[in-house]
């Protein structure tokens, strides 16, 4: 895992991140191409780039500063914008040409006795990213400081984020087929820089979104935590489902659980049938009794980073989706902890308090 601290314009920060990841981004591009050819129905490299360029154009229309960051990233890494487009919008490509595995991230929210919240998240994705994650501590001009986990060659915040305005976001991918629409990664990045929940919802719920997905969003200042599922009108009669999280715990994996959003789907959610793990992971998280829920950041880190083949998976246990890192956040105290899943990492555990400079 690489750690990058940077500040300045979106281009300047992208440039610094690209320079830090110069060894990883070209390699990740090649591995991504190989993965998409083997595990999705995209068929050709030309088709991958066609879809990625479509989303890059959408990014320019939606929020041009995201493209400024990607241009800096490409310059710093010494690669073409065509390659950065593909690494940046891999999820949009794979969601349009569905892979056989529907196993991705796991999230658990626990309300503590003092009213604060612990958000524990395992970032699970394609195995070419194992040991290559990027930990960012960045301040973009005119935006709050942001500590986040992401992928080399991608926009910030995609694997868990906390900003200095006490906004925390995690994301659980859903595997309903993508539709023409707004690039999800851009919406996610912009929302991670928001100052309140209304601003987060404004960006994440913009219609029409290309990729159906789920977010846990928290605002430490108000102690509000919400579950937000967003989709495309072609996918669901209920393209947005917003639900406050008020119970002692909440969990989500990679299928659509019972509720209004599931009933509104135009087609059956393929994840429960195709996935070996999403339903068992969800059931395991949901089954925790009150006295077994993690009550400290260390307990949450240990629970989610203990290998069980379900919530935590190694490359040997799953060829298409592996645990890359564990992220734990307490938005009310502005603390974020990250544990690299790679046992060979020079430093596995990181902690940031955004009250500190």
pLDDT digits (tens, 9 = 90+) for 130-188: 999 999 999 999 999 999 999 999 999 999 999 999 999 999 989 888 899 999 999 99
Alpha-helical regions (H) of 235-308: 260-263, 271-274, 278-286, 297-305
With a cut of 70, say whether residue 357 has pLDDT above it.
no
- What's the chain's average pLDDT? 94
Cis ω for the linkage preceding 334 (within 30 of 0): no
At 99 the pLDDT is: 63
Tens of pLDDT, residues 47-64: 999 999 999 999 999 999
User: Is the per-residue pLDDT at 102 higher than 60?
Assistant: no
Query: 61: Cβ–Cβ under 8 A, 6 or more apart, which residues?
Result: none
21-47 burial, b at 16+ Cβ within 10 Å, e below that, comes to beebbbebbebbbebbeebbebeeeee
For the chain, the residue count is: 357
What is the pLDDT at residue 105?
94
**Number of CB atoms found within 10 A of residue 343's CB:** 8
Under 8 Å between Cβ of 55 and 92: yes
Q: How confident is the model at residue 261 (pLDDT cuts 50, 70, 90)?
A: very high
Give mean pLDDT, residues 319-332: 94
CA separation (Å) from 192 to 19, 30, 226, 228, 315? 23, 28, 14, 14, 29
Q: DSSP letter for 277, please.
A: S
- Percent over 70 (pLDDT), the chain: 98
DSSP string, 324-345: EEEEEEETTTTEEEEEES-TT-
Q: Confidence band (pLDDT; 50, 70, 90) for 356?
A: confident
Give residue 101's pLDDT.
54
Please provide the DSSP assignment of 49-77 as one string.
Answer: HHHHHHHHHHHHHH-HHHHHHHHHHHHHH
Mean pLDDT of 240-252: 96
Model confidence at 103: pLDDT above 80: no
Residue-range domains of the chain with CATH = 2-96 (1.10.439), 106-353 (3.60.60.10)
Question: Tens digit of pLDDT for each residue in 265-296?
Answer: 999 998 998 888 899 999 999 999 888 999 99
């Amino acid at each position: 895992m690489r750690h990058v601290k940077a500040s300045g314009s979106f281009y300047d920060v992208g440039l610094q991140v690209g320079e830090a990841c110069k060894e990883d981004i070209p390699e990740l591009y090649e591995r991504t191409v190989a993965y998409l050819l083997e595990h999705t129905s995209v068929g050709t490299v030309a088709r991958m780039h066609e879809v990625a360029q479509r989303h890059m154009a959408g990014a320019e229309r939606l929020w041009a500063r995201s493209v400024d960051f990607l241009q800096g990233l490409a310059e710093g890494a010494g690669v073409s914008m065509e390659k950065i487009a593909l690494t940046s919008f891999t999820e949009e490509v794979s969601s349009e040409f569905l892979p056989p595995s529907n196993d991705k991230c796991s999230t658990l929210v626990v309300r503590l006795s003092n009213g604060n919240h612990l958000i524990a998240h395992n970032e699970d994705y394609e195995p070419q990213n194992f040991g290559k994650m990027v930990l960012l501590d960045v301040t973009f001009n005119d935006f709050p400081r942001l500590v986040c986990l992401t992928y080399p060659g991608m926009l910030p915040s995609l694997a868990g984020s906390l900003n200095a305005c006490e906004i925390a976001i995690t994301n659980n991918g859903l595997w309903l087929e993508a539709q023409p629409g707004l690039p999800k990664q851009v919406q996610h990045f912009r929302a991670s820089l928001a100052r309140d929940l209304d601003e987060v919802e404004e960006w994440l719920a913009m219609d029409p979104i290309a990729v159906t997905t789920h977010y846990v969003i928290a605002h430490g200042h108000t102690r509000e935590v919400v579950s937000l599922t967003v989709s495309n009108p072609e996918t669901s009669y209920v393209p947005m489902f917003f639900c406050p999280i008020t119970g002692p715990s909440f969990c989500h994996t990679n299928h659509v659980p019972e509720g209004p959003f599931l009933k509104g789907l135009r087609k059956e959610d393929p994840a429960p049938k195709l996935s070996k793990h999403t339903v068992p992971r969800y059931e395991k998280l949901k089954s925790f009794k009150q006295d077994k829920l993690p009550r400290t950041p260390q307990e949450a880190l240990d629970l989610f980073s203990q290998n069980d083949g379900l919530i935590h998976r190694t490359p040997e246990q799953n060829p298409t989706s592996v645990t890359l890192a564990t992220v734990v956040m307490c938005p009310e105290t502005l603390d974020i902890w990250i544990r690299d899943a790679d046992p060979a990492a020079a430093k596995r555990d990181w902690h940031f308090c955004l009250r500190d400079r």
